[in-house]
Amino acid sequence: MAFHKQSILREPRKKRIIVCEDLNFFWDEPELKDVIKMWELGADVRIIGRHFDRDPDEILFALIHLARKGRIGKRKGGLLLGL
């Protein structure tokens, strides 16, 4: 299947979908500081989610934000296993 950039970009939009609209992207700075601490301690994203009573996907987006801002780095075990 060939990708034809011009034809896809010029076609009128059919049905727009807002992805992840059911997620909460708002965080208070003290919460993000706690996310950083938990990340550095090796907490699993599911545990962090339970701590904040939030969907683990919301934690993932917070971690992406923090990584892009240089506030967290990679860790042994990645997202789920931690240290």
Q: How far apart are CA 83 and CA 70, in angstroms?
A: 20
> For the whole model, what pTM was predicted?
0.77
- Second CATH level (architecture) for the domain 25-81: Orthogonal Bundle (1.10)
Q: What are the boundaries of each domain within the chain?
A: 25-81
DSSP string, 29-65: HHHHHHHHHHHHTT--HHHHHHHHT--HHHHHHHHHH
Give the pLDDT of residue 5. 60
Give the pLDDT of residue 13. 75
pLDDT, tens only, 5-48? 666 667 777 888 999 999 999 999 999 999 999 999 999 999 99
For 2, 6, 35, the CA distances from 40, given in Å and listed in that order, are 44, 45, 9
